[in-house]
Structure 1
Amino acid sequence: MPAPGEVYTVDGRKMHLQRSGPAPATALHPTLVLEAGGGCASPIYARLQKALSAKYPVISYDRAGMGWSEADDAPFDGKRNAQHLHALLAAAGVTGPIVLIGHSLGGLLNRIYTGLYPEQVAGVVMLDSSHPEQFEAFQGLPAETLAPERKKRAEFQAGGLPPPEFALVQAIFADMPHVLRQMAANYTPETVDTMVKEHEGLQHVARQAGASPDLGTRPLSVLSATVMPKLPPGAEEGAEVQRRWPEYQEAHAALSKRSRLHRVEGAEHMSLVVLPPFVNRIAEEVDWVMAELGCAR
């Protein structure tokens, strides 16, 4: 499938972004930039992008090896990712201030980006974001699951039946058939390799985020899911992360002197960013951030 957005060459490889919404009202009016969670391509955030672009200019993009962006031979690195995103935005003509909206791993990447380009980042929204400490004992993806996952995706791309997990995706995005086609096009064995690379770099990226400066007085909204997934027996590491999740979200809110934290009742880690009621809640928080910046519409 051709890239649905715009493709630019950054550091010798192609990177993809999608923009929507009105153009910035002035050079000082921020553009919203969505940073995906680990292993996620831009179509997953299509409903959120649509909701936000009713008022504001919005950009989503694909990290290296995801969506329509070419893979990167280098290990996954938060600073390298920030540099590539910065160059991508410049190539697309986004030179004014931005508000970073990061889901899961995206929250860590946004902290790194803000530390590198503090003059560009006007505000931050963290969506059930990861915390640097949660990866201290991270074990990575089970090796025995990778080959079957690649095989399943290769068979699907060769014309096989959709995998069972696609039924839920089809239900969630039934009103957005173009998004379903995009997600099917991205369900490839190569994407698994990118997921592995991102998992292998999680501890390094977490340390980079933890070493980044606080957010100062930037408006910061932290939204946290309240429904935790059921864990398999013996998943002590995951159980400890779940126990500390509220504490992690409070720590996020403490990164700025101008912040607020909301626990979104009934939301899970992924449903927070794809289901309409929760997406609308995120849009309300973006309105607050933009109002704090004097840019509400």
Structure 2
Amino acid sequence: MFRTVRSARTTALTALCCAAVFPGLVGCGVFSEVGSELGSAADEVQSELEDAAREVLTEGQLFTGTKTLDVDGASVHVSCSGTPSDGRPVVVLMAGMGDGLDTLEGLQETLAEDERVCSYDRLGEGESDQPEGRQSIDDAGRTLTVVLEDVAGDGPVVLVGHSLGGLIAARYAPDHQDRVSGLVLLDATSPTMIDDISDVIPESATGEGAEVRAQNMAIFEGENPEAIVIDSDPEVRSAGEVPVEVVQHGVPYLGEIAEYGDDLERVWSEGQEKWLALSDRSRLSTAEGSGHYIHVDEPDVAVDAVRRVVDEAAA
């Protein structure tokens, strides 16, 4: 996540049929031959069965398409594709700031050919409700927990986060090692991004540098679609012995910022290296032909990274 002032190169920092589950049961006339003396009882039982069927069909582990979840009274938009497989983790995609799950549609569609894949809009993004006030990374984590409980139950997940979504995933995983079995970070926001910007662009800066600094400081203080405050914390805690793929951009788009571009590219790269501390099984690679949106610029790079982590997590 990094906001520049040139609009031309600004990056965003910004159901299954019931017959398939209950064949010949729900809505199929199972009680059509019940005697009239049992009519009312049969109607009651049928109603209960239909309610049970609807409940099962809306479980995240089974539904395909989109739906909304209630998270403390707020509506969160969720999308799932693909078929669950025994022993395979559910892949959960997490977009960057300013993006809805639609920006991950292509990645989700490709991965769903072989995996169960879900995505969601965080509060303030896409079709989800607006947050009631300022949020923290921990608040975003609590929303993520509700999503994971719905789409994966008690099963394992691989979190795939782009930009701010990557930072949230990386902060979440160490506290949920019983659930998160792998991570893919696509040009994830650095754990020390706000300090990095402050160090590179001094308060005395003028011109474009001053605008970039002020804009990003405001974003990190909560002036963003999610009203999320992003603190700088150099500590990267272990997420356990899980496979982690860290993929950084290779096209130096930050380098276009006058005077400070080269140093901004340097600290961004250093920030990607910090995420390697998540696991002894972490790997860092560069998407040479990509800007910030690796899953759009080089979708095969993102797909391959996710598949490697899922395969390792399922082994």
Q: Same fold (TM over 0.5)?
A: yes
Counterpart secondary structure, 2:256: coil
1:274 is aligned to 2:300: no
For 1:95 and 1:79, the matched residues in 2 are separated by 20
- TM (normalized to structure 2)? 0.67
Shift of 1:76: 2.4
Equivalence for 2:74 = 13
Counterpart secondary structure, 2:153: coil
Query: Cα deviations across residues 27-52 of structure 1 (Å, max 9, x unaligned)?
Result: x4210111111111110111111111
Equivalence for 2:224 = 196
Counterpart secondary structure, 1:32: strand
One-letter amino acid of the structure 1 residue matched with residue 275 of structure 2:
H
Shift of 1:199: 7.0
For 1:254 and 1:226, the matched residues in 2 are separated by 21
Distance 1:142 1:125, change over 3 A: closer
Shift of 1:93: 5.3
For 2:134 and 2:124, the matched residues in 1 are separated by 12
Contact map agreement 1:100 1:110 (CA 8 A) in 2 = yes
Contact map agreement 2:295 2:301 (CA 8 A) in 1 = no
For 1:109-120, list aligned pairs within 5 A: 109-120=168-179
One-letter amino acid of the structure 1 residue matched with residue 229 of structure 2:
G
1:65 is aligned to 2:124: yes
Structure 2 residues not aligned, in runs of 5+: 1-64, 199-212
1:55 is aligned to 2:114: yes
Counterpart secondary structure, 1:216: coil
Distance 1:74 1:254, change over 3 A: same
Q: What percent identity do the matched residue pairs reach?
A: 30
Shift of 1:54: 1.2
Distance 1:141 1:246, change over 3 A: closer
Counterpart secondary structure, 2:142: helix
Shift of 1:244: 2.3
Mean CA deviation greater in 247-256 or 219-228: 247-256
For 1:1-297, list aligned pairs within 5 A: 5-23=66-84, 25-26=85-86, 28-92=87-151, 94-136=153-195, 137=198, 139-140=214-215, 196-198=224-226, 201-202=229-230, 204=231, 206-207=232-233, 210-211=234-235, 213-229=237-253, 230-233=255-258, 236=260, 239-270=262-293, 272-275=294-297, 278-294=298-314
For 1:273 and 1:63, the matched residues in 2 are separated by 19
Q: What is the root-mean-square deviation in Å for CA atoms of aligned residues?
A: 2.4
Aligned residue pairs total: 232
The higher relative CO (CA closer than 8 Å, separation ≥ 6) is in: 1
Contact map agreement 1:104 1:129 (CA 8 A) in 2 = yes
For 2:312 and 2:173, the matched residues in 1 are separated by 18
One-letter amino acid of the structure 1 residue matched with residue 215 of structure 2:
G
Counterpart secondary structure, 1:33: strand
Query: Cα deviations across residues 11-41 of structure 1 (Å, max 9, x unaligned)?
Result: 1110011001112x12x42101111111111
Shift of 1:6: 0.8
For 1:134 and 1:142, the matched residues in 2 are separated by 10
Counterpart secondary structure, 1:132: coil
Contact map agreement 2:174 2:240 (CA 8 A) in 1 = no
Counterpart secondary structure, 2:305: helix
- TM (normalized to structure 1)? 0.71
Query: Cα deviations across residues 58-98 of structure 1 (Å, max 9, x unaligned)?
Result: 11100101111101113121111111111123234533110
Shift of 1:257: 0.6
For 2:300 and 2:308, the matched residues in 1 are separated by 13
Distance 1:290 1:91, change over 3 A: closer
Counterpart secondary structure, 2:252: coil
For 1:79 and 1:67, the matched residues in 2 are separated by 20
